[in-house]
Amino acid sequence: MTAEILCIGTELLLGNITNGNARWIAEQLAALGVPHHRQAVVGDNRERLIAEVRAASERCRLLITTGGLGPTPDDLTTESIAAAFATPLVEHPQVWADIQARLAARGRPCAASNRRQAYLPEGAELLPNPTGTAPGMIWSPRPGFTILTFPGVPSEMRAMWQATAAPWLNDAGLADGVFASRMLHFWGVAESNLAEQMADLLEAANPTVAPYAGSGEVKLRLTARAASADLAEALLEPLEAEIRARTGELCFGLDDDSLASVVLELLRQRGQTLAVAESCTGGGLGAALAAVPGASDVFLGGVIAYANAVKQGVLGVPSELLEAHGAVSDPVAQAMAQGARRATGADWALAITGVAGPGGGTDQKPVGLVHIALAGPDRCVSEGVRFGSSRGRSWIQTLSAGEALNRLRLALL
Amino acid sequence: MTAEILCIGTELLLGNITNGNARWIAEQLAALGVPHHRQAVVGDNRERLIAEVRAASERCRLLITTGGLGPTPDDLTTESIAAAFATPLVEHPQVWADIQARLAARGRPCAASNRRQAYLPEGAELLPNPTGTAPGMIWSPRPGFTILTFPGVPSEMRAMWQATAAPWLNDAGLADGVFASRMLHFWGVAESNLAEQMADLLEAANPTVAPYAGSGEVKLRLTARAASADLAEALLEPLEAEIRARTGELCFGLDDDSLASVVLELLRQRGQTLAVAESCTGGGLGAALAAVPGASDVFLGGVIAYANAVKQGVLGVPSELLEAHGAVSDPVAQAMAQGARRATGADWALAITGVAGPGGGTDQKPVGLVHIALAGPDRCVSEGVRFGSSRGRSWIQTLSAGEALNRLRLALL
């Protein structure tokens, strides 16, 4: 009882566009609890399309296609699907009337090619397109195998899905229970180490746990299947508690949380504010905070002190400190953080100064060395961290911002 | 002589992430001139993986996989590919030593599970991963069929592609002739308008022109096929000149250029410096400048003036201006830019103040309204721009930074 997605369009094979339709449909299938094991992409090519559709009909219960429903000679989906099952196309006069009316309403001429869109394989039902001219179909060319076709335009596809396909899928009894899932976020642990801590859980069949690595962050997705949403959530509840108990402060958030959003919320609860002083990240830490909607009640701003003159002039870092220790050092990081607190009046400040590379590294201060300081109402601490040079400048900048936020998070817990 | 892409990961089937890797690889194959007719996605499932790999080996010359190379039990790519061709796995001791060294350099413990990553099918060559622990392979399990495996982490995959796979593909003679390509970058024009201006060129067979839309930026890829690289470049030369003549100042760069790198280079040639003052972008403009290696000789830093108190206190924006015009206004943007010049001593300053949303919009100052000021040695100008609210906060922030850089670029030309 599984589903497959087939996206049709040469523009996908040329890399002109990202396949956002596949992701969106995959999410919908997961939410409906329809098992989905395979996706494919082919170009606007009749033979390959026929071969894909035939092969899918041997494997799955439900095939969902996107693309190739337009009026141009490139649009081959409907006729290829009909050909795959040696079925003739028949015109649906009311669809043709509808297409003509829609084009007239937009003041567009009705080309003869538009009439092709009114043809469906004999026996197929219409899948109406409320927002465009290209309708889709719901067709079972053989028992136990159904095809749903959608246009490639995302807004049309989504409207058709929600109006007709989702209710049809619900009624068709394709769902094997209901799925619920949660994403837990971690900082300061490698994917492999986290996976080892979870080895027993990673092997479980329901609920499942799957690890994902990001930029410095590691995530675990928890997924449960049950007869109802409540029962699925009830399976996830003790699992999340168990993982949180094993990982303690390494786990920083759930679902849409980011380090920045979690830190902003912790400060919001205390009624406190935050400023930044950034050298090698050049504004990336501030941008991460400003990415969170509603950041402005906590995040005041700060200083991008890329040049030493700005560290001195705007943040008030003493020139003696810069001369004695160099810009990439704990004393300078601390002076930057204190300067940002002073300049903005914030309760807390984070400062970052490091060697992002690729140039500028020395034996003592290699590329990837970053000093991060945290100044608060009653403390100012700094520590260096080595991110290494192998993953490049952008990686060092991203990890520096994340590490700074995580230190503040731990200080606030 | 065609290629297929197989992306492996249950997170793709659950719709957790968009398949950006498939698009990126498809673009690379197109640029190299390797014909590419099919993409597939399967989950972390041994049987389905084996079936896909076997089926691909019957259809294509080259199979490129992403994902499933990590150390966790979910990561099944290497062993499934070996099993598909009944080939044993053998350990590569130097890979294991390398993994241990990399993890040690990052101060991370080396888990036993990491050792799995040092195993490849007998006869497979290593595809080195310069930025991560999971190497890939180049393996021809049977004559006329080669598999290249990459991790799913986009930055690692791309680095491996550029360092090893692209040269290998060029040498392997998979391309039909020699391809040369150039990417031209545009700002301030919609993809559809640019495509209309280029309608005749978009239809040409060799060289080809293909449009790509990014975040505010539009790109045209020019690709020529010829018997030699010199001949291919000779086809591109007049085409690039023609496109530049048609588009004038809309075209800002070539290949790896970014708006930030182009602006930094224009200032470098003049021996001038730049500072920023950012409100709604929160550091994103500075981060875009700091993303360019060697930015420090031009980019001095600036002020993140997210709160009005910082606009006043650090940038010296008069409170009367804020009261009379509001923070999102030309007078305040100009005062911010002048304040950034004054605070840093830079020759030029860019200031951004706007409503990034989703909250905070009013009828007069809706979400998406952004005022951008440019202060230079002999001028200070500001203008508002409306990016609209439909594409969200991150889109508005990214476009604001790009628009600011483009205004400085035009001022410097």
Q: What's the one-letter identity of residue B321?
A: L
The pLDDT of residue A205 is 86
Q: Are both A271 and A245 inside the same structural domain?
A: no
Sign of the C-alpha dihedral, residues A132, A138, A141, A146? positive
Whether the Cβ atoms of residue B183 and residue B10 lie closer than 8 Å to each other: no
Task: Please tell me the predicted confidence (pLDDT) of residue A71.
Answer: 80
pLDDT at B30 over 70: yes
Structural domain containing residue B300: 259-412
Of B30, B108, B132, the CB nearest to A15: B30
pLDDT at position B175 is: 67
CATH number of the structural domain spanning residue B229: 3.30.70.2860
Q: Is the pLDDT of residue B257 over 70?
A: yes
Q: Which distant-in-sequence residues (6+ apart) come within 8 Å of A228 by Cβ? A: A178
- Helices A259-270 and A393-412 pack at an angle, to 10 degrees, of 30
Q: Which residue of A has its CA nearest to B283?
A: A283
Q: Are residues A316 and A209 in the same domain?
A: no
- List, for residues A187-240, the tens digit of each pLDDT value: 999 888 998 899 999 888 899 888 877 778 999 989 898 888 899 999 999 999
What average pLDDT does range B104-109 have in this prediction?
Answer: 81
Nearest one of A163, A169, A197, A164 to A31, comparing CA atoms? A169
**pLDDT of residue B363 exceeding 90:** yes
Q: A26–B36: do the CB atoms touch at under 8 Å? A: no
Q: Report the C-alpha gap between B261 and A23 in whole angstroms.
A: 33
- Token pair of B331, please? 């007078």
User: Are both B114 and B234 inside the same structural domain?
Assistant: no
Which residue out of B11, B29, B34, B41 would a mutagenesis test of the A interface target, given it has the greatest number of A Cβ atoms within 10 Å? B41
Q: Which of A20, A196, A210 sits opposite B111 (nearest CB)?
A: A196
Residues B193, B264, single domain; the answer is no
* Record: contact A300-B306, CB cut-off 8 A: yes
Q: Smallest CA–CA separation between B230 and chain A, in Å?
A: 24
Please name the residue of chain B whose CA is at the shortest distance from the CA of residue A385. B106
Sheet (strand A62-66) strand order: A125-127, A136-142, A145-150, A62-66, A3-8, A36-42, B36-42, B3-8, B62-66, B145-150, B136-142, B125-127
Distance of CA A331 to the CA centre of its chain: 38
Last residue of a domain, one of B171, B205, B238: B171
**8 Å CB contact of A278 and B293:** no
- How distant is the Cα of B304 from the closest Cα of chain A, in angstroms? 5
Q: What confidence score (pLDDT) does residue A208 get?
A: 87
**Is B41 in Cβ contact with A27 (below 8 Å)?**
no
Q: What is the DSSP string of A285-323?
A: HHHHHHTSTTGGGTEEEEEEE-SHHHHHHTT---HHHHH
Nearest-CA distance from A105 to chain B in Å?
A: 23
Residues B245 and B282 in one domain: no
Report in angstroms the alpha-carbon separations of A338 from A107, A303, A350, A380, B309: 64, 12, 9, 8, 18
Whether residue A273 sits in one domain with residue A167: no
pLDDT of A66 > 80? The answer is yes
Rounded to 10 degrees, the C-alpha dihedral B27/B28/B31/B35 comes to: -80
Using alpha carbons, select from A345, A336, A320 the residue that is nearest to residue A277: A336
Tell me what the pLDDT averaged over chain A comes to: 93
Domain limit, last residue, from B127, B146, B171: B171
pLDDT band at A111 (very low <50, low <70, confident <90, very high): confident
Q: Please list every residue in chain A whose beta carbon sits closer than 8 Å to the beta carbon of residue B302.
A: 283, 303-304, 310
Domain's final residue, options B171, B191, B224: B171
The encoded tokens of residue B320 equal: 């009367």
Whether residue A230 is found in the same domain as residue A316 = no
Same domain, A158 and A228: no
Q: Give me the residue from A202, A278, A314 closest to B314, CB to CB.
A: A314
pLDDT tens per residue, range A129-154: 988 888 999 999 999 999 999 999 88
Residue A225: the pLDDT is: 86
Closest CA in chain A for residue B302 = A304
- Whether B12 and B161 map to the same domain: the answer is yes
Facing residue for B210 by CB, picked from A16, A199, A397: A16
CATH number of the domain within which A46 lies: 3.40.980.10
Note if the bond before A141 is cis, omega within 30 degrees: no
Any idea which of A270-274, A324-328, B198-202, B373-377 has the lowest mean pLDDT?
Answer: B198-202
Whether A185 and A119 map to the same domain: the answer is no
Partners of residue B70 in chain A, C-beta under 8 Å: 191-192, 211, 213
CATH number, domain of A280, equals: 3.90.950.20
Together in a domain, A131 and A94 = yes
A407 & A335 share domain: yes
More confident residue, B173 or B316: B316
User: Which one of A22, A287, A301 has the shortest CB-CB distance to B307?
Assistant: A301
Q: Mean pLDDT, to the nearest integer, of B310-315?
A: 97
Query: Measuring CA to CA, how many Å separate A88 from each of A128, A269, B217?
Result: 20, 66, 45
Residue B347, pLDDT > 80, answer yes
Cβ–Cβ of B301/A304 closer than 8 Å? yes
The tally of domains found in chain A comes to 3
Place of tokens 């956002």: A20
ipTM > 0.85 for the complex: no
Q: What residue of A is the nearest CA neighbor of B21?
A: A18
Neighboring chain B residues of A215 at a CB cutoff of 8 Å: 155
What's phi and psi for A40, nearest 5 deg? -140, 155
